[in-house]
Structure 1
Amino acid sequence: MEDLNDLVAFMAVARERNFTRAAAQLGVSQSALSRTVRGLEQRMGMPLLMRTTRSVSPTDAGERLLASIGPRFEEIEAELDALRAMTDRPAGTVRITTTDYAANTYVWPRVQTLLHQYPELKIELLNDYGLSDIVADRYDIGVRLGDQVAKDMIAVRIAPDMTMAIVGSPGYLRSRPVARKPQDLTLHSCINLRLPTRDSLLAWELSKGRRELQVRVEGQLTFNNVYQMVDAALAGFGLAYVPKDLVEQHVKAGRLSFVLEDWFPTFVGHHVYYASRRKSSTAVQLVVDALKSGYRRVAK
């Protein structure tokens, strides 16, 4: 049993690649976690992790161990979830990855009632533009645009199609040339969105009829949160490329104006998705059903 606990500790560090985050996840101190992993390495007779002052990563032996035991521990967790599902009181933590916009617009408003109804249910909601692999990163549920969902996932639509818009404040627009075509964006200060996985900035996808363009823009500001982008646009720092329904109230109130409106693209709406091995969990199914029913009510 000691070895099993130590293996769980090793997997947490190897996956997080960080002792501090792994310790927080396991609810132990960083020093205790470090001693546990070193003890496992001593019993194994080989290093499992490479440690530097800036990073932690598995050795070749550590990678092999993680690949061999990880799926088995996941099978045990899935079976425990299935057993918990046999009770009348759904419990456990449902981990969800999505973006800040989808979390605020669709997920959080629809799961609040569940938290009141089921006190033993916990929800961990993480905002991420990196298109995480929900199986590898140990999420139960993902919420993404329809064309961003992997084909081997079970996916259900929870939102209407999403249109992206370019907006700027009236004061900013008075100081710059009128943008009549996408190429004119080079004359403007544009507010960028950082994508973590590709270490790049989000290209502005535009479409008009059958024409589709991806425009790389430049400006003073870069965020990883669309709400800060909207705030910066309202403050007159440039043009922002954000979900249209997020800024419509500001446009109606005259605080923002649309730019290149005939080039606004529309994407397949958000879907909730999960791996098939998780479908037997009552807690996961409750969250999925809440997200689905919320869309049905809106769609009517």
Structure 2
Amino acid sequence: MAKEDFNDLLWFLAVAEERSFTRAAAKLGITQSTLSHTIKRLETRMGIRLLMRTTRSVATTEAGERLRQSLAPRFAEIETEIAALMEFRDKPAGSIRLTLSDHGFESIVWPKLGPVLAAYPDIKLELSIDNGLRNIVEDGFDAGIRLGESVEKDMIAVRIGPDWRMVAVASPDYFAAHPAPLHPQELIGHNCMNMRQTRGGGLYAWEFEKDGQELRVRVDGQLTFNTSYAMVDAALKGYGIAFVPESLVERLVASGELVQVLDDWCPKFPGYYIYYPSRRQNLPAFKVIVDALRYGEV
């Protein structure tokens, strides 16, 4: 393949990853017609159909997916090496893409990284807030931020926050009408708020532990959310029991606006970590981000 054709491969990769000519064209800063013509030319030159197009979506063929899987890590390595050249600048620079949950963003990441962005104006940060678990390599992220138990085993992981726990809370009015549960199994008779897991689509089973006994309770109720923040608001309004990060409701429990139950069944577990493949760790801008987030002695 001629050297001038590598740009066509980059454009194909953008379409394959975005699964949309419209989004890929916007990302590349070109017109959709130019992009479509380029992909058709690439398929003609290779003699292989790479993409399946419908009126609503774009998907890779078997050959196209094989090409995408081959190209993505190679181009990522090239980008990494080019970004590493930023080390010779006066200040770290470059773009960093992170995937993280809304709670991780609000409680840990934003308070720590806000000052960093002011100190390093040449660092660009893209934050994808998603409560599901993402494959950071396949989805093109530099790093992910998740709870310790969710970190992929083949990644470098750095702790960025303290241990924390989930707690069960509801409004005083709710418990005035419904006896407070004394055991997790008693939640089955209550109006509880479910959490929809982004990946897989299943409902989160509430996890409890006491004296070495572990329980997972599948609750039922009128409301299902995919974010803890909405659950807290619904609990305040008396819609039932919510199971949320303790840091979200400490002030509300202290003020009496919410009542916490099953406290002795809610143990702490490893908090947030930033995790990433080893090839990212030597980039100056990325090192600034990791060092800013680092928690205690790791």
TM-score by length of 1: 0.92
The amino acid across from 1:59 in the alignment is T
Q: Does the CA contact (< 8 Å) of 2:133 and 2:198 recur in 1?
A: no
Letter of the 2:206 counterpart = W
Question: Which SS does the other structure have where 2:121 is aligned?
Answer: coil
Q: Secondary structure at the match of 1:189?
A: coil
Cα separation, 1, equivalents of 2:290 and 2:17: 26
1:85–1:280 CA contact under 8 A, matched in 2: no
What's the counterpart of residue 70 of structure 1?
A: 72
Query: Which deviates the most, 160-169 or 87-96?
Result: 87-96
Distance 1:117 1:184, change over 3 A: same
Residues 137-157 of structure 1: CA distance to partner in whole angstroms, max 9, x if unpaired? 111121111121122211111
**Residue among 83, 86, 105 paired with 2:85:** 83
Seen in structure 2, the aligned counterparts of structure 1 residues 119 and 137 have a Cα distance that, compared at 3 Å, is same
Structure 1 letter corresponding to 2:277: A
Alpha-carbon distance in 2 for matches of 1:19, 1:266? 46
Amino acid at match of 1:65: L
Quick check: 1:81–1:280 contact (8 Å CA) kept in 2?
Answer: no
Distance 1:75 1:46 in 2: 26
What corresponds to 1:247 in structure 2?
249
Q: Quote the residue 1:212 is aligned against.
A: 214
Equivalence for 1:43: 45
Instruction: Report what 1:3 is aligned to.
Output: 5
State the alpha-carbon separation in 1 of the partners of residues 29 and 222 from structure 2: 40
Q: Structure 2, unaligned stretches of length 5 or more?
A: none
2: distance between equivalents of 1:17 and 1:216? 35
In structure 1, which of residues 68, 79, 103 is the aligned counterpart of residue 105 of structure 2?
103
Equivalence for 1:181: 183
Query: What SS does the aligned partner of 1:195 have?
Result: coil
**Residue pair 2:97, 2:125 contacting (<8 A) in 1 also:** yes
Q: RMSD between aligned alpha carbons?
A: 1.8
> Does residue 278 of structure 1 match 2:280?
yes
Does structure 2 conserve the Cα–Cα contact (< 8 Å) formed by 1:169 and 1:233?
Answer: yes
- Measured after TM superposition, the shift of residue 25 of structure 1 is 3.1
CA deviation string 1:26-76 (max 9, x = no partner): 334444433332332233233211123343221011012112222211111
Closer/same/farther in 2, CA of residues 90 and 101 from structure 1, 3 Å limit: same
Secondary structure of the structure 2 residue equivalent to 1:15:
helix
Partner residue in 1 for 2:57:
55
Deviations 1:240-280 (A, max 9, x none): 11111210100011111112222113211211121110111
Q: Which structure 1 segments of 5+ residues have no match? A: none
2: CA distance, partners of 1:86 / 1:252: 51
Q: In 2, Cα distance between the equivalents of 1:24 and 1:107?
A: 28
Q: Distance in 1 between matches of 2:217 and 2:228?
A: 18
Is 1:126 matched up with 2:128?
yes
TM-score (norm: length of structure 2): 0.93
Q: State the Cα distance separating 1:167 from its structure 2 match.
A: 0.6
- The CA distance in 2 between the partners of 1:182 and 1:172, in whole Å, is 17
TM-fit CA distance, 1:124: 0.7
1:71 partner letter:
P
Give the length in aligned residue pairs: 295
State the 1:2 CA deviation: 4.7
Secondary structure of the residue aligned to 1:200 is coil
Alignment equivalent of 2:94, drawn from 83, 92, 95: 92
Cα distance in 2 between the residues matched to 1:56 and 1:238: 42
* Residue in structure 2 matched with residue 257 of structure 1 by the alignment: 259
Alignment-derived partner of residue 146 in structure 1? 148
1:192-211, aligned counterparts within 5 Å?
192-211=194-213
One-letter amino acid of the structure 2 residue matched with residue 263 of structure 1: W
What's the % identity of the aligned pairs? 53
SS of structure 2 residue aligned to 1:135: coil
The residue type paired with residue 235 of structure 2 is A
